Amino acid sequence: MPRALLALPGLLEWRECTRLIDRSTDVVWNCVLPELRRQVPKRNTVAGNPVHCVGNAELSEAAQQVLSCGPKFAMAPRQTRQEQLAMVRQVAGKAPESEFDLAEVLLKGSRSGSAAASGGNDARFRPEKVLVIPYVHTVSHNLRKLGRKVGVDVLFSAPPDFASKCAIN
């Protein structure tokens, strides 16, 4: 902007005033918008397709209502990454301690069986399979140890920013 325009009386005050109005409008709009969204009535989906039951199959009224809306409404909602990670952690924590020893015996048995086939030398045991899984910091070390016991090389795919920081030269 030319300096001559900056020298005009009141121009700097005008810019400061417009900046203040812009910011306050954003703040007020962000406060009001959730309330406005709650006031809008939800659209009721009209059952457009009849549901035909073959044979003597019986469906509940709720199931018929969902199926009559079409395949889009019959699908389960997709889980977010956080929900999937939470499910993995829940499943991983469900194994009772009584089965830990059994898993160790099975792992040792499978490893010794494959080592016997390769000449019986455990020191030179080389996994034949490679598994690539997403990197999760809290469980990656345990997954790598488990993979070694089973005979699977575990490679972790990392996000681009993490991969660039830990690049292998």
Residue 164 has pLDDT above 80, yes or no: no
Give the domain range for residue 156.
126-169
pLDDT in tens, 72-85: 666 667 778 788 77
The verdict on residue 155 lying in a domain is yes
The verdict on residue 137 lying in a domain is yes
If one counts the domains in the chain, the total is 1
Residue 160 has pLDDT above 60, yes or no: no
The verdict on residue 165 lying in a domain is yes
Strands 152-157 and 129-134: parallel
* pLDDT confidence of residue 11: 82
CA distance 133 to 88: 13
The verdict on residue 55 lying in a domain is no
Lowest mean pLDDT of 69-73, 95-99, 147-151, name the range: 95-99
pTM of the complete model: 0.24
* pLDDT confidence of residue 20: 92
The verdict on residue 145 lying in a domain is yes
